[in-house]
Amino acid sequence: MKKNEVLVLEAFDTTLEGYGVTRHSDLVIFVRGLLKGEKARVKVIKTYKNYAIALIEELLVTSLKRVAPVCEYNLKCGGCCLGHLEYEEQLVLKKHYLESLLIKNGLDLAVKDTVASIPNLRFRNKIQVPVQNGKLGFYRAHSHDIVEAQDCKIQSKNAGAIIDFLRPHVINNLKLRHIIIKEAFKTGEIMVAFVSLAKEDEYLKTLALKLKDQFKMITSIIYSYKYQDDNVILGDEESILYGKDHIVDILEDLKFKISLKSFYQINPYVTPLLYEGALERIKDLESKNVLDLYSGIGTIALFAAKKAKSVLGVEIVKEAVLNAKENAKLNHIKNVDFVCEDAKDNLKKHLKGIDVVIVDPPRKGLHQDVVELLSKEGIKEIVYISCNPATLIRDIALFMERGYQADYLRGYDMFPHSKHIETLVVLSKLKTDKHTKVKLGMEEFDRN
């Protein structure tokens, strides 16, 4: 197989990254944008020992599942890699992906149908837009090149309008690295943040005043100063250029203060479905004490506190813990408390009297010390929410080796048209001492 070689290939599968899986002379070739059942003339652009990557030159047979792309930048920026596949089929594909990971890890578990996002466009309440080399837009897949997308269809119209207004004023700012926009869909409040390598920027201070006059829904403009030019998006110091240091949003009947550094789920249409799906799996929640690890600004903790006997949230980000405490007061909820600690520190102390543990860790999953301690302490119910199915299923296998069973597994489409999926698993402690033996497959093959 040589680079630039042209072949006619037919896809027998589609990956979650939007690549058609084909084969030529016993070599697997991944074709970007090709759907299962489609045939195309393709050009090989990269070759590796065990596989190759190709692009479509001419589509010869078209799948009935192919739809008009979500936008003109589909398959150009790194976001909507499934934007040319009909939405119902995206949900099926994500379910099959979870099933394949389970099989790979030797687990025989049933996966419920993926919960859809309604709507599946204009759902993002947060965007991070890089500024680089006179361009403002979104990163091309697997690169640091910027695609200058004029209107991203998964971001809100307000966010798009703000970016369009800012573009001519900031593209030549050599110190500016990112513009972050957070929007509270229920209250209409919007936060804009400039992340810069400059300690101060008088021009951006003046621009902030023009921005708030142009967009009356903006209630917070923040300047975030980065000490180093690295891959970390948020800065090290913050100052308020206009308004407050937070915005307020509403999920169901709960209000939440959201600061720049606070984690808040980006899809407000699916988030309540995810939390309700998690909490309704807990039997007799009214009589139980709950520990919420990686609790953020207290979203699921406060949802749980409306029914549970008590809830304790543990979170390492100081700003998020402050937000969580304020959110409890804002909602007049008194049976909940929050502490600022690493999830694995003092965990044994926090587990005293706990009936249910909820975890929503970062992409790397749970620290093995956390898995070990939860298992040793015999926590009867564990609710695991994850944005990374690979580490989630790795951890499920570890829990099953230690005497747990998975009672419920379901994907929630928090990120339509992308390769990402939020996953919910409910684990319960087996009553016998017989542990389940499973085959562990720790690494997920990255086809890209």
Residues acting as catalytic residues: 387
User: By the 8 A CB rule, do 399 and 375 touch?
Assistant: yes
Count of alpha carbons within 13 angstroms of residue 437, beta-carbon side: 0
Largest CA distance in the chain: 67
Contacts of 185 (CB under 8 A, 6+ apart): 125, 156, 249, 268
Q: Exposed, middle or buried by CB within 10 Å (0-12, 13-18, 19+), for 3? A: exposed
Cα separation, 134 vs 169, whole angstroms: 11
Say if residues 40 and 34 touch (Cβ distance below 8 Å).
yes
C-alpha torsion sign, points 230, 232, 236, 242: positive
Q: Who's near 1: CB < 8 A, 6+ residues apart?
A: 24, 25, 27, 29, 44, 47, 52
Residue with tokens 């699916």: 270
Reduced 3-state DSSP string for 193-230? EEEECCCCCHHHHHHHHHHHHHCCCEEEEEEEECCCCC
Residue recorded with tokens 């944005």: 387
Distance CA 340, CA 126 (A): 24
CB-CB contact of 221 with 161 (8 Å): no
> Backbone dihedral region of 332: left (phi > 0), alpha (psi from -120 to 50 degrees) or beta?
left
Are 325 and 311 in contact by the 8 Å Cβ rule? The answer is no
Q: Using the 8-state DSSP alphabet, how is residue 154 labeled? A: T
- Strand order in 381-386's β-sheet? 112-115, 404-412, 422-429, 381-386, 356-359, 289-293, 310-315, 336-340
Which of 314, 308, 267, 271 has its CA nearest to residue 290? 308
The single-letter code of the amino acid at 46 is K
